[in-house]
Structure 1
Amino acid sequence: MNSIRLLSSNRMSGFGRCFLAMIFSVVSCLHGFSITTPENGRQIVIQGTVKSDEGEPIPYANIQVIGTVKGTLTAVDGSFKIFDLENGDYTLKISAIGFKPIYKEIAISGGEAQELNLFFEEIGVEMPLISVISNKDRVFSRVPGSVSYIDEKEIRTIQPISGNEVLRRSPGVHVVDEEGLGMRVNIGIRGLNPDRSRSVLVMEDSVPVALAPYGEPEMYYSPAIDRMAGIEILIGSGQILYGPQTIGGVVNYITASPPLEEEGAIRIQGGQGGFFSGLLNYGNTFGNTGVQVNLLRKRADDIGPTSFDITDLNAKFLFDTGAKSELGMKVGVYDESSNSTYIGLNQVMYDQGGMDFTRLAPDDRLGVSRYSLSFSHQYRISEKIKLRSIAYGYKTTRNWNRQDFSINNDNQAPSDWTGVMWGDMAIPGGAIFMRDGTGNRNREFEVVGFEPRLEVAHDLFDLENDLIFGARILYERAFEQRINGTKAGVKSGDLVEDEVRTGHAFSAYAQNKINLTEKFELSAGLRMESFNYARDIFRRNFPEIGIRDTSLLAQNNIMEVIPGLGFNYRPLQHINVYGGIHKGYAPPRTKDAITSTGDVLDLEAEKSWNFELGFRAEPSSWMYLEMTGFRMDFSNQIIPVSESSGGMGFGVVNGGATLHQGVESAFLVDLSRLFSLKRTKLNYDLNLAYVNAIFSEDRFKGESNIKGNRTPYAPEWMINSALTFETNEGLLFRLGGNYVGNQFTDEVNSIEPSANGRSGKIASYVVLDGMLAYQVSQWNSRFNISVKNLANERYIASRRPQGIRVGLPRLITLGYEYKF
């Protein structure tokens, strides 16, 4: 009961008390509204329930009337209703993750309602993944925190060229474009700094994808959205089972599992700037073995400031190893070559216009390769006990060749100037001089992990309980070298830095969910994290001495216990109130906690206490509402000053106390149900977030006390909205919009931009996207045209890493998909 006591204490903020009152006021209104709302004269033609073969109701099962736009999701009790179908013969498809699809023939005649009681049969063999929320037990009303699940249909409707477009569909998620294609995803949740997604645990099929999850959690590799079947985003106390980061949230990319029968697809998309994306996937089951393979080729010659070439091959294998167990295997190979760069426009170049996507350093080249292998296993010890295990290993190579450049207030050209200058020498600090030298930053990362998890259904205190406990063992090693070339674009030269960083992590966790009543559930969890890390330096540049071989070895160990408590309360079938409290935690990066001279710094882990209170409601069959209030109170937030975050490359600093408070909300209206449209589907949705993220204690930068200032890259307002229109004839239209409020880029909240463009206020902006698709069922084909940034809005997406990044201009692509 700790969370309830804290939320109702006298020390609770005025914001918290107001939001708590608002929650109960809204729920009270919805209580009455849900009882009295009529069906507006609409005709129920099909209704019923969906249950498991054991008689348990299946919530959020997908009911689809094939060949029409009609469909729905089952309610928490497994019930469903379908309205306003014309007389005729139809086929229903009922599907849910973890169960075999049900196909049911239905004849509608004379307006008589059909009553159906449907029973799912479990898939005999399923991919044994440790998913975040999307498995057959996925019940959003039982998750003690804010959750989002973006399915494959929604991804295809967005028709994204970047995963950033999809992630923005989740309330409270701020994604900063770097090169416009999402190859280096920068995710910030609830006002946290988005640089390289350091405060978010990002996974693919439950396997971490960061370079080194503990010691260097940067996202230089991002899973390609083109091949995804869904994305899970979990925020709040429900993330206590995952780690090491439990501050921002968990993002889990989901790929398709092997199907029971043969199926496949060819999908291509092409457009301006030589952009091309081609995906081939094939799946089938041969005897006791299921296979799912996909190959992605993606490239562009000139998208914004970037050219790139990506090959991404993935394969899943599912083995039926007996009546009680399944074994899954996944193999991935990724290769990328791009002219990604850190250097951006300075302020005068942006103000004068005409150079938004000029390649300032055309010889800069980033190569990323990744090889991954994972095994997942599930063993059903009994009806109430399951053992899930996952073992994984991956190797990521990130070699970045970047040309040197110089900026100074006197606009003095360096001695090794190539003769290429950008900007304006008449403005102090307004010139960028390109130097005849290259910094080759070569890094290689190895990660191996193993996680067994036991899931037990038990009857402690004669109540229904679900217990999960497990352990996580992880080993990571990073090799880093810097080679300075004496010419622009060369990969050879002088070795000036050489080191190895290693880390051993152990984590143990347990969470028990208890149904105190039919309407009230309480979840309590605890996780222990232990991380032992070392930095072994073989060569470095010593001040006033120069480059020397050396042998500097330093190591340290940190340990933390992370508790979490959450609840769910369902006063009515269509209303769910949830809340929780958990300790946020993220270990310091190894290269920040141990200096380049081998000194172990007193750099604390990033810690916070996170509170959440919200509700989900479906007051009518045509309306869905969700609202969450949150408070994240940091005793010490880590502020990055790395090159990627626009700093000078010295890692991070203790940023001191910060406070993040706000509200997230989601609103969906099915206008076709509201207005009884029979042959069309019309939806409107709105995701809105207000975030007030500030430095909450006295701290001085020069003579300025930054207490009360907003934290960098934390917009106060974020809005994502879409209007979707679909017809029985196969036509689909989507108009979407994304609004990002103004942002500050430094701790002192500078408004006037610096000459180099790296600091200064970023103005708010709106980007509109449109998509038109046509499904030709008899050809198993789908055609589409997508327009990104319809209004051709010119805006600053970021002032990082080292200068202004302009958002992508209007981009038109055409696509085709064939399924077999």
Structure 2
Amino acid sequence: MKGIFTFFVIFFACIAGAYSQSKYELRGTILDIGGLPLTGASIQVAGTSFGTVTDLEGKYSLVFDKPGDYNLKLSFIGFKTIDEKVAISKPVFTRNYKLEEEISSLQEVEIMGRKEEGYKNTSTFIGSKTQTNIKDLPQSVSYATKELILDQGLMRVGETVKNFSGVSQFTFYDDITIRGFRINGGSNTQLVNGMRSTSGFWKQPLINYLERVEVLKGPSSALFGNASPGGVVNRVTKKPLDINRNSLSFSMGSFNNFRGLADFTGPANKSKTLLYRLNLGYEDAQNFRDLQFDKNIVVAPSFSFIASEKTRVNLDLVFNNSSSRLDRGQSTFENDLYSTPISRSLNTANDYLKEQTYTITTSINHQISKSISLNASYMKTGYNEDLQEHRSSNSYAVDGTGNTIPTMVGRQVFIRKRSRFVDNLSSYLNINTTTGSLAHKLVVGYDYARESLAAGGSQLTASGYRNASNTGSIARFDPSKPQNYLLDAAGNPVPNVSHFDLENPIPSQAMQDMSKYFYAQVGYDPTLYYLNGFYAQDQITLGKLEAMIGVRYEVYTDFENYKKEGEQKVNQNALLPRLGLVYKANEHVNFYGTYVEGYNPQTASTIANPNAGGPFDPLESSMVEFGMKSDWFNKRLELTTGIYQITQKNTLYPVAGETDLLEQIGEESAKGVEIDLVGRVLMNWSVMASYAYNVAEITESPNEADLGKQKPNAPKHQGNLWTKYDFDQGALTGLGIGFGTNFVTERNLSLSATQTIPGYTLMNAAVYYTTGNVRLQLNVNNLTDETHWVGGYDYLRLFPGAPRNVLGTITFSF
């Protein structure tokens, strides 16, 4: 705490010192060629983050600490950029500008870095495989730009989803729900730059190398193959820029949190044909949870080679090395949610989790002719896991009569190693043509994806109770046969792994002698699947109407008993249509409607139990969605509203009276309303807001009690507001303040249990000060210190949110 206190003393001393200096003001107006003011135009000192935007009358004001020559960059979406050197030598200097409109085609592949700044992102590639204005896409997209991520002091994808309508955490792993349907990092349906990828389920890596996080709502199988019906998360990495931008950032905060980040980009040669970007990240952080910590190193270089006006090549590498402990959640006394502190974890001091993940991507964009371009990308992903953990056995301890002891949690031990690899090839043609009065934007492509779990994946498990001779263990205690078990002096069965004492946790959290346990070996047998996908899509424009028609044919190939006797290839085919329509009512308002279908295989690679039966038909889903997208205040503010209904069938349920067998008799649905607002209200007032109402329930089930139940960890209501105001006039120039709140309502933890977790409302705040090339930032999260839970499975595995915490950051731009 002494180090944090010293940091904040220096933080506020810097602010006070900055205000005592002399000021030099540059002011003026930015207009278009016709003399109309450009509201929200950016004027920035080149190579730094110091700058401002114009007000409703096109006026701007920049205040410098000292005189000198400054290289200014003026920009506005759709207008040519102006670069000019200005000599500031007197207290007030006036300079007016006019920007010329620029007519340029949208790039066909996300290979060049995004120069647009702020919370609003104008275009995306995720919904159509070509750069499309989000307003023109007939499907809902939510996103968080790097500027929003920076202002909120976020470092995990799970932290960003509070800003998205209909998206919430399921646990605090890489694990979320979208419109009531669950996806996670190990599901191989998450995307990096529109390419299928994989990561560890347990820990979320740093996101300092990301340009933005975006979610395409609803089934996305028509473009990306098998995926969750709720939507897909796409992580867009930062790309090289053709201008120099460099920054160093250092943060300190609660729970002994420290991280250092670096971002360097610019041209590598005078001709600007070779561009580079290098993002580095280091994190050493403790946690409000007992025994938890995270040490992460991220190295993410990227290169763009502009071979000619027609050909661009990009290379991206992201390497993450993580050392931590796996946190299986908070356990409470039986059915008593508030009986233990949210800090309580069941780990011991010699537990560990070591993960290494890399993705390497090569992509090329070649303009074959004025109307045809070729895009091809290949991504390789590797993931390695090395785990040793003490965790709950998902049950309480039992005494000699078989009754539970509500203050003692049964424990088990996992020691596991495994590796997983994903190969992903995506190639497609973009064809722009016309037939009569119809304009066509065609995408014709082929995808190949392959995932394998390498040989040698295996786990040692210690669990259950010791047998009478103390030579092994028995999975469960049977009180009718006490003679089979080793009993203590009180007649209670002796556990293989000592129970966790919720009332006296310190001895349970001390280092344990791993050699004293009896282990059973569990194999993670090698698995392999691959898919071949062929798709075509046409965006057809006729006046104010724009239709999107697409279809994908996919062959999913899996292997039962892979690399064993009786190996058998299993194929599943899917034909997936996509229909969308946009009506451009006027320059600012679009109405849209869409129908999409999706699927997700249920085969040996996705079902862990080899005795489950099958092969099963895939999960089949469909969605109907209608909505409106509009922009306001000279296109600075974007509003999206939508209503939807998603249905998924072929859900697996256990066969009555059988131990392992499953049958396809389930159906589930989600329907709701979403509202998203993002952008700038005024030149120096940014906002991000969302609201969602979602009814996600079971509509067909062999268990009548399940019918009509809200799905686990899917709140019916949730909302978010974040706003930031920058002072750009008077004595407070350079100062900014931010405030946010988000809420979710009560959630079910499972379908089979009646346990719930309460809703919550959190408030967060931030203060910023920018002077020259230096930005100081202080974030305070959970201002009211509200006890809350972001998700969970039951009261033995709860995932509490962080109590009140602070984070101070200093950033140098050069």
TM-score category of the 2 structures, normalised to the smaller one: 0.7 to 0.9
| Within-5 A mapping of 1:547-586 | 551=565, 553-586=567-600
The one-letter code matched in structure 2 to 1:560 is A
1:476 corresponds to 2:476 = no
**Structure 1 unaligned runs (5+)?**
1-43, 51-59, 73-80, 179-183, 212-217, 415-424, 539-549, 642-648, 674-680, 752-759
Aligned amino acid, residue 744 of structure 1? N
Look up the match of 1:388: 375
Contact 2:373 2:431 (C-alpha < 8 Å) held by counterparts? yes
TM-superposed CA distance for 1:818, in Å, is 0.8
Question: Which residues in structure 2 correspond to 1:659-808 (within 5 Å)?
Answer: 659-667=669-677, 672=682, 681-697=684-700, 699-701=701-703, 704-728=704-728, 729-748=733-752, 750-751=753-754, 760-777=755-772, 780-800=773-793, 803-808=797-802
Do the aligned residues in 1 keep the contact of 2:30 with 2:54 (CA within 8 Å)? no
Please, what TM-score do these two structures have when normalized by structure 2?
0.77
Equivalent residue number for residue 170 of structure 1: 164
Contact in 1 for aligned 2:251/2:809 (Cα 8 Å) = yes
Partner deviation per Cα, 1:646-689 (whole Å, 9 max, x = no partner):
xxx9899756111211000124685547xxxxxxx334543100
C-alpha contact (below 8 Å) 1:534/1:554 kept by paired residues:
yes
CA 1:282–1:640 in 2, change beyond 3 Å: closer, same or farther? farther
Contact 1:376 1:389 in 2 (8 A): yes
Q: Shift of the alpha carbon at 1:409?
A: 6.5
Q: 1:128 aligned to 2:111?
A: yes
Correspondence for 1:371 among 339, 358, 363: 358
In the alignment, is the contact (CA less than 8 A) between 1:449 and 1:472 conserved in 2?
yes
Task: Determine whether 1:299 maps to 2:300.
Answer: no
* Equivalent AA in structure 2 for residue 763 of structure 1: P
- Does the 8 Å contact 2:331/2:340 carry over to 1? no
Task: For 1:700, give the aligned amino acid.
Answer: P
Confirm or deny that 1:63 pairs with 2:89. no
C-alpha distance in 1, partners of 2:711/2:268?
Answer: 54
- AA in 1 matched with 2:287: D
Distance 2:591 2:262 in 1: 43
Would you say the 8 A contact 1:228–1:255 is kept in 2?
Answer: yes
Judged with a 3 Å threshold, the aligned counterparts in structure 2 of structure 1 residues 686 and 276 are, in CA distance, closer, same or farther, namely same
The one of 363, 373, 386 aligned to 1:399: 386
Of all paired residues, the percent bearing the same amino acid is 18
1:442 and 2:417 aligned:
yes
1:187–1:197 contact (8 Å) kept in structure 2: no
Contact residue 133 and residue 232 of structure 1 kept, 8 A? no
| 1:210–1:220 CA contact under 8 A, matched in 2 | no
Answering whether residue 312 of structure 2 is matched by residue 326 of structure 1, we say yes
The whole-number CA distance in structure 2 between the counterparts of 1:237 and 1:770 is 35
| 8 Å contact from structure 1 (residues 593, 600) kept in 2 | no
Give the letter aligned to residue 111 of structure 2.
P
Matches within 5 A, 1:329-340: 329-340=315-326
Match of 2:296 among 291, 310, 316: 310
Paired with 1:261 and 1:275, the residues of 2 have a C-alpha distance of: 33
The TM-score with structure 1 as length reference comes to 0.76
Kindly provide the CA deviation profile for residues 355-381 of structure 1, in whole angstroms up to 9, marking residues without a partner as x.
321231224322211132221011110
Counterpart of 1:666 in structure 2: which amino acid?
D
Give the aligned partner of residue 404 of structure 2: 428
**1:208 maps to which residue?**
196
Question: 1:260 aligns to what SS in structure 2?
Answer: coil
1:594-651 Cα offsets, whole Å, 9 max, x none, are 7435x7514331211101100022355586432100010222346899xxxxxxx989
Range that drifts further, 391-400 or 245-254: 245-254
Residue pair 2:598, 2:621 contacting (<8 A) in 1 also: yes
Deviation of 1:196 after TM superposition, in Å, equals 5.5
Report what 1:266 is aligned to.
248
AA at the equivalent of 1:128: I
Q: Which residue of 2 aligns with 1:614?
A: 627
Partner of residue 224, structure 1: 206
Instruction: State the aligned residue count.
Output: 693
Q: Distance in 1 between matches of 2:400 and 2:808?
A: 46
CA distance in 1, matches of 2:162, 2:351: 29
Aligned counterpart in structure 2 of residue 155 of structure 1, from 149, 170, 181: 149
Match of 1:590 in 2: 604
Which residue does the alignment assign to 1:76? none
Distance in 1 between residues matched to 2:306 and 2:654, nearest whole Å: 47
Contact map agreement 1:236 1:580 (CA 8 A) in 2: no
Aligned twin of 1:508: 534
Q: What is the Cα deviation at residue 285 of structure 1?
A: 2.2
Distance 1:82 1:134 in 2: 36
Cα distance change on mapping 1:162 and 1:651 into 2, 3 Å: farther
- TM-superposed CA distance for 1:410, in Å, is 6.9
Q: Secondary structure at the match of 1:156?
A: helix
Give, as a single letter, the amino acid of the residue that structure 2 aligns with 1:617. S
1:535 Cα shift? 3.9
Asked whether the 8 Å contact 1:448–1:475 carries over to 2, the reply is yes
1:186 partnered with 2:170: no
Q: What is the distance in 2 between the residues matched to 1:384 and 1:450?
A: 23
SS at match of 2:278: strand
Superposition deviation, residue 224 in structure 1: 2.2
Task: Work out the CA distance in 2 between the residues paired with 1:407 and 1:230.
Answer: 37
- Report deviation, 1:346: 2.6
Deviation at 1:69, TM superposition (A): 4.1
